[in-house]
Amino acid sequence: MEYDLGPAAAALRQRLRGLVGEHVPADYLGAFTADPADLAIAQRFCATLAEEGLLCLAWPEEFGGRGASLWEQTVVREEMWAAHEPRGAQYMGVNWVGPTIMRHGSAEQQARHLPPIARGEVIWCQGFSEPGAGSDLASLRTAARQDEAGDGRGGRAWRVYGQKIWTSYATMAQWCFLLARTSTGGRKQQGLTIFLVPMDAPGIEVRPIDCMMGPHHLNEVFFDGVRVTEADVLGTVDAGWAVVQEVLAFERVGIARYARCERLLQAAPVVLGDAWADLPAALRGRWARMLVHARRARLLAYRVVARQGTGQVSPVDSAAYRIAVTKLDQDSAEVLVEIINLVELEGAEADYFRREVEDHARYSVSATVASGSIEMQRILLSRALTTASGPLGTAPARTVATS
């Protein structure tokens, strides 16, 4: 397998690394800390990327992009995630909120939402998971009840009641990509609708949840009679589940976790120097195995990217990638933590590496739950393979928009 994407991709990588080195502090560990300055760094860096035409590289030009290839956008994903995602929460708008609005949004919704995303000015959160409806998302209870008063222009309106949980970035987001039930009867996947809701709408309350990953990752969001109208509906009323399936396909490949794992693994012998040879041979063997697993996850990600280029994403490929990369997150973190605990690290570079590893380890704890649990991915994979007539990747594909 040739992992080299060519000289243009290599030049893009160097350009991105140069911008990170110029605009992001050397000890940066992401936007989602207790220090508001870290979020400010991410917002400024997003504006820089937008000015350079790199934030929404693969978007069509009419929506604020440059019409670049998906492989160039993949380079951006990899470099950003390897550098602790200095775009902050913007990856969500760039990778799947924007492309989903391109595909399913009205002209008015596209005009309202796409330019701010392309400029890096707006943060979105995802109103999906609920208590009792995480992996089994279609069982959600948040309900949009029709408001008989309508929208005042002859259209329909609803009042939203319910609770969401997890909801990363809810304390900093300006908009919520909200999934709610608008009708009952039939299969649980039916009767679901997506609303684009401003987070400052009356009736929304956000309650942060303390966790080991730090602030902004976990929140509860309560909806108490939040008013929405047909103008806020993305796509078709009661037909939101098909859109959600597209969204999840993008979300699961949109974060290049393997890139950070591989960078940290490769940095370990450099930071340890002569002490590397003193590590147990078995531990160095596990370290080497993790590098192989990082390349495997990259290969599976590239399989999905290649399918995106043809407008098709196979549930088999997405699930296989998700399983591999989340296991890589946790297994590589275990190896790296053992390494730093066996060696006395001294100096600023070594101290930063230790903090990087500890941050990676904390984040990896949630890896097999976030964006769909690994158990659900295994079920999806097994179901798809039982209906496939050939090897991995030949299950029926689903047409989706490209990001």
Catalytic residue positions, numbered: 251
Q: Euclidean distance between the first and final Cα of the chain, in Å?
A: 24
Q: How far is CA 386 from CA 21, 98, 318, 363, in A?
A: 48, 34, 16, 33
The two three-digit tokens of residue 125, written as one number: 């959160």
**β-pair type (219-229, 204-208):** antiparallel
Rg (CA), the chain: 21
List, as own/partner pairs, every contact residues 371-380 make where C-beta atoms lie below 8 angstroms and the sequence separation is at least 24, other chains included: 371/248, 371/251, 371/252, 371/322, 372/135, 372/248, 372/252, 372/322, 373/134, 373/135, 374/322, 374/323, 374/326, 374/327, 375/135, 376/135, 377/319, 377/322, 377/323, 377/326, 378/319, 378/323, 380/315, 380/319
The two three-digit tokens of residue 64, written as one number: 């604020």
